Structure 1
């Protein structure tokens, strides 16, 4: 049995992955750059993001800085107006919290996490939330999950990571932590073969945790 669970945030607790992509796509369209979803997902596994295609297309850094502000504004607009709930998450977390200690490790910015959870209660069962500002090297580097282990005072063997993307999975594997990948249609086509477990939703996680 595991004693600690470190959750990714976007795509695991809330359905925000698509909206983040669309916000970047919308911003890049302003300078005539098309952001292809397949290429974007491939770039993400290599530690790149929205702006990799822009740089390839010759967009300069001052323009990218301006587009980043626009992307963030569009994304927060979507967070306020779109349905980002994932069915069953709240109940699954409540049940898990009776058996193991829970926390969040995300590459999301603090401002976005705070906006998402302003009127939600999912984080009440979490002992801490680590966001992008809390470490220098984001996923797929191991630093985020190693920081989670230190915060808990846990070993990798005692801990399970829950992810939905290849980038997050790579981070967990690099940190030496078992990883359960939950199905999400946005990232389902990525190489997730290194996952220790594959689950359809968080409702299945209790059996994984207790059976480890």
Structure 2
């Protein structure tokens, strides 16, 4: 029987992926801590249209009802009795406000560029897979200096079904010609983790703004604080060792 330390060690391992082929990233909350900017945009514009009697939404409301979801689904949650076109116009205004805020304030998650260099040095395939509108996604990738890093950007709204369905991740795998058995996903939301798991891949969760226990319940293999987390680098070094055929058992 495994003791607790061994159980944790096994759960944080990615050894089953060797040899690693590809790494897929969500964008919002995964490459950058963008949720506070989305929250500000939603809070201000919802207050302007008199949502909830003009009382500003809370961060808890944002996490439970908005974060990680596709815009069509958010419209149904926020405006269930309103004409869809009017709701989508609200979302367009909100996205425009988000882009203004992002241009001034967006920053990468700690350690992101260190991980991206490691991926480039190893020659792994990589793609960004998001429920964000393409204009937002391309802007964030550009601000983060990753336009030339990603081989592919998959947008949920351009697939048959967005996250939490697996379609966006399956499209990414098919396009970059990678196997789910040899690909890691990085995600920060429940819907994103469910999508990655449904596509047959292990998912590393970042509780950037979402509660860690919800990410684990959604199926994350393990959680990391950011891309400087020693847990992540231990797992990646293990993959390196396996690939080199030099894995030494303790």
Tell me, in whole angstroms, the C-alpha distance in 2 between the residues paired with 1:136 and 1:148: 13
Q: Is the Cα contact below 8 Å between 1:4 and 1:160 reproduced in 2?
A: yes
SS at match of 2:51: coil
Any gaps of 5 or more consecutive residues in structure 1? none
Q: Is the Cα contact below 8 Å between 1:6 and 1:162 reproduced in 2?
A: yes
Asked if residue 16 in structure 1 is aligned to residue 38 in structure 2, the reply is no
173-182 or 124-133, which moves further after superposition?
124-133
The aligned residue for residue 179 of structure 1 is 203
The aligned residue for residue 37 of structure 1 is 59
Cα distance, 1:65 vs structure 2: 3.0
The aligned residue for residue 125 of structure 1 is 149
Residues 9-88 of structure 1 aligned to structure 2 (within 5 Å) = 9-34=27-52, 35-44=57-66, 49-56=73-80, 58-88=81-111
Tell me, in whole angstroms, the C-alpha distance in 1 between the residues paired with 2:46 and 2:22: 39
Q: Of 189, 193, 206, which residue of structure 2 is paired with 1:165?
A: 189
The aligned residue for residue 246 of structure 2 is none
Q: CA RMSD in A?
A: 2.4
The aligned residue for residue 200 of structure 1 is 225
- Scaled by the length of structure 2, the TM-score of the pair is 0.74
- State the number of aligned residues: 210
Q: Which has the larger radius of gyration?
A: 2
Tell me, in whole angstroms, the C-alpha distance in 1 between the residues paired with 2:37 and 2:179: 34
117-126 or 22-31, which moves further after superposition?
117-126
Tell me, in whole angstroms, the C-alpha distance in 2 between the residues paired with 1:132 and 1:192: 20
Cα distance, 1:207 vs structure 2: 3.3
Asked if residue 94 in structure 1 is aligned to residue 112 in structure 2, the reply is no
Query: Higher helix share goes to which structure?
Result: 2
The aligned residue for residue 4 of structure 1 is 22
